Amino acid sequence: MKLSLRFVLPLILVLAGIAYVVTPLVDQLTLRWFVRDIDMRSSLIANTVQEPLLELLASGRKAKIVNLFNRISKDERLYAIAYCATAKDAALLSRTLPKEIRCANLDQWEGPRDHLLLSAQGPLHVAVKAMASETAPEGRLVLVHDMKFVTLRSAETKRYVFYFFMGLAVVISLITVIIAQLSWRGWMAGVRALLRGEGLLVWQQGSEAQPKQSEFKPIARDLQRLIRELESESRTRDEGQVTWSADALRAILHGELRGEDVIVVSNREPYIHQRMDGHIEVQRPASGLVTALEPIMRACSGTWIAHGSGTADREVVDKDDRIAVPPENPAYKIRRVWLSKEEEAGYYYGFSNEGMWPLCHIAHVRPIFRSSDWEQYVAVNRKFAKAVVSEAKTKNPIVLVQDYHFALLPKMIREELPDATIITFWHIPWPNPESFAICPWRDAVLEGMLGSSILGFHTQFHCNNFVDTVDRFIEARVDRESFNVSFGGKLTAVRRYPISIAWPPEAEMVQKPVADCRSEIRQLNNLPPEHKLGVGVDRLDYTKGIMERFRAIERLLELNPEWIGRFSFVQIAAPTRTGIEEYQHHETQVREMAARINVRFGLNGPPPIVLKVQHHEPREVYEYFRASDLCFVSSLHDGMNLVAKEFVAARDDDRGVLILSQFTGAARELPESLIVNPYDADQCAAALHMALTMPADEQRDRMRLMRGLVAEFNVFRWAGRMLLDAAAMRRRSKLGERNGREER
């Protein structure tokens, strides 16, 4: 033992000294990286605002400049932004500049000097960019970034470096001491064997060899667990720097959830088999849910349980109602659940889409609740719960429950599989408590959802609404700091997971050049080659704001008649829920409005509106995206809206303009789009005119920023965050069980 201490203590001291020396070097290197990144960010912001700023300066609209600066400075790291026309003039600024920075002393912040300022407000990064105009040839733009986050991360880096070296010292010391002990024991055993005349070979190959090797197993197991935990923490901490892809998601599943049983449950299936003219045709439905989840299942290779709604679905499944998909390269299985016409009418058309859908969207359509619909909703949820239990290969599968069709399913699964990890994602908005109180079975819906281990929404606003609703109506303990709800002895984590699309898009979606798409789409719709084209892609649903969109186009042609005969808008509207009277009435209104506008403005030329009420395959939709000059998303209320992100993904030419409703979750993520209130026809018409006249370089700058965000915050990141949270929850559960056994 004394010999071991003589080795261990110097080793710990030496590594502590190395950690003490290395930590400042790492700190300086990290600071240089952050300063370089902030410099690049400042240049990008300056290039982006240069043109609108110069236009406002030329017109002398200082109030507009201040408003522009105020909008830009909402970025949490941008502390202040100002413009100095000359060294003697007062600055136009968004917030109060630190007193150390004035127009008269900006020279010290230019060039390759140190751009850091230690002010009373904390460390700041100051960047000065030339922004000359005809009226102010010496004009300069000042961008001040808050560097407090660097201090926090620097402290965290120092702490982790020190902990790393200390942990390394402990591990090396432990391994060295154990090896020394084993070597000493082995040498003594060999000496005893020689004295007994058995020879060294007996010790090396005899019955004692196996016990010696087994002593290393606990150490190896602990080391592997430590490495996995460190990698998991690193992924979580540096998530913004991870390139999320299908391969990265598979790595998470292999490393964090290796061998786990992954099941997805949704009403809509990702592939529908329809009998068409004597043959079976495979269709992919127009659904944001399918768009988001289908790439995930390709990566997971799990089982997707869904309602079999196609006319040929029964013909292609096996005896267990399963089929491998995608057809061209099977990667996972669909388990189809069959519903009677009565079940579908009550569960889907009735309670889900005449009740919950308008209720949650706060649409101007009155929700309808019938007790018969509720009975079918309960019965169908129970039928899907039985399907999950039958498909589960283990007692603790990971079940991803999708959307408002299955509010009761989490609790039902929990009753049959208590150890399951249930992640429920609500794809539509969650209303405020007063609105949700309309539902006659509100308590049962909430209790069903709280059977989830994790409950996800698109935005924090929807998370807040849900927690407020639970707090108002049922007896549950709500922790608003951690956003956990304790109900029935189980904990539900309420989290924000903004959904997205796969990145990069599939090669077949963007393989046709943009020029060819523009030419072919215009020929297909009998439009001139240089005709301006807009596109909208939606299900024919009253929440999508299609009629508001048409009113905006009509108002554009009224205010700017020069676009008559030069601009057309293609509205792709996939039929949906045609069995519901409100949807039938909505389709009639949409068709009548399009016809009226075309008669008014299109008698002597191309029609202003080209309405296509039919299903389009994703490849066809992408061709329209690539052929169009703008995309208009005018949803009256939407959880996220993935059409906006698909349009951005389709534009690898960095052209095109996105007009986006402020009532979509996507509006919070894509501020470079033209954000509008779809109820304001004049504002929307102005946005259409601005999009049609936007210079190519501004289109490029906006589109590049949006494409960068969609690439980083893609669907694999969405799924990866949920699965990482599920893995951490399962680790904590296993640790609690192990500690409980040890205490007993």
In the prediction, which pLDDT does 212 show?
42
Q: Are 610 and 532 in contact (CB under 8 A)?
A: no
Burial label, 617 (beta-carbon count in 10 A; 0-12, 13-18, 19+): exposed
Residue 202, CA distances (Å) to 93, 182, 185, 205, 209 in order: 85, 17, 15, 5, 9
| Fold adopted by 262-496 | Rossmann fold (3.40.50)
Query: How far is 52 from 56, CA to CA, in rounded Å?
Result: 6
Query: How far is 515 from 518, CA to CA, in rounded Å?
Result: 5
Per-domain residue ranges of the chain: 35-151, 262-496, 512-713
Question: Helices (DSSP H) in 77-208: which residue ranges?
Answer: 148-195, 200-205
Map tokens 């992408």 to a residue.
622
* The two structure tokens encoding residue 3: 């010999």
Which of 171, 306, 238 has the alpha carbon at shortest distance from 33? Answer: 238
Which of 590, 595, 597 has the alpha carbon at shortest distance from 553? Answer: 597
* The two structure tokens encoding residue 198: 């058995």
In the prediction, which pLDDT does 203 show?
36
Query: How far is 673 from 682, CA to CA, in rounded Å?
Result: 18
Q: Are 122 and 110 in contact (CB under 8 A)?
A: no
Neighbouring C-beta atoms of residue 6, cutoff 10 Å: 10
Map tokens 């490029």 to a residue.
700
Which of 584, 585, 610 has the alpha carbon at shortest distance from 595? Answer: 610
Which of 125, 160, 154, 165 has the alpha carbon at shortest distance from 24? Answer: 154
Which of 225, 232, 223, 222 has the alpha carbon at shortest distance from 726? Answer: 232
Beta bridge partners of 276: 279
**Which CATH number fits the domain 512-713, given the four candidates 3.40.309.10, 3.40.50.20, 3.40.50.2000, 3.30.70.580?**
3.40.50.2000
Distance of CA 116 to the CA centre of its chain: 34
* The two structure tokens encoding residue 532: 């301006």
In the prediction, which pLDDT does 290 show?
79
Map tokens 């509207």 to a residue.
573
Query: How far is 635 from 629, CA to CA, in rounded Å?
Result: 20
The DSSP line for 700-737 is HHHHHHHHHHHHHS-HHHHHHHHHHHHHHHHHHHHHHH
Q: Are 306 and 406 in contact (CB under 8 A)?
A: no
Which of 725, 718, 727 has the alpha carbon at shortest distance from 259? Answer: 727
Q: Are 314 and 269 in contact (CB under 8 A)?
A: no
The DSSP line for 60-108 is T-HHHHHHHHHHHTTSTTEEEEEEESSSSSPPEESSPPPTT--GGGGGG
Map tokens 């040839």 to a residue.
137
Question: Helices (DSSP H) in 392-512: which residue ranges?
Answer: 409-416, 433-436, 442-449, 460-473, 507-510
* The two structure tokens encoding residue 423: 């992640």
Asked if domains 262-496 and 512-713 share a fold, the reply is: yes
- Give the CATH architecture of domain 35-151: 2-Layer Sandwich (3.30)
Degrees to nearest 5, angle at CA 615 with 556 and 504: 85
Q: Are 384 and 305 in contact (CB under 8 A)?
A: yes
Return the DSSP state at 500.
-
In the prediction, which pLDDT does 205 show?
40
Query: How far is 660 from 684, CA to CA, in rounded Å?
Result: 10
- Amino acid identity for residue 107 in this structure: D
Map tokens 């391969």 to a residue.
247
Helix (H) or strand (E) holding 508: helix 507-510
Query: How far is 23 from 194, CA to CA, in rounded Å?
Result: 52
Q: What is the mean pLDDT of each run of 10 residues along the chain (744 residues)?
A: 60 72 74 79 82 80 80 75 79 72 76 70 81 75 80 74 74 74 66 50 39 47 50 47 71 70 91 90 76 77 92 94 92 95 95 95 89 97 97 92 97 95 95 95 97 96 96 94 93 94 90 96 96 96 96 98 97 92 94 97 94 93 98 95 96 97 95 97 98 97 96 89 88 72 58
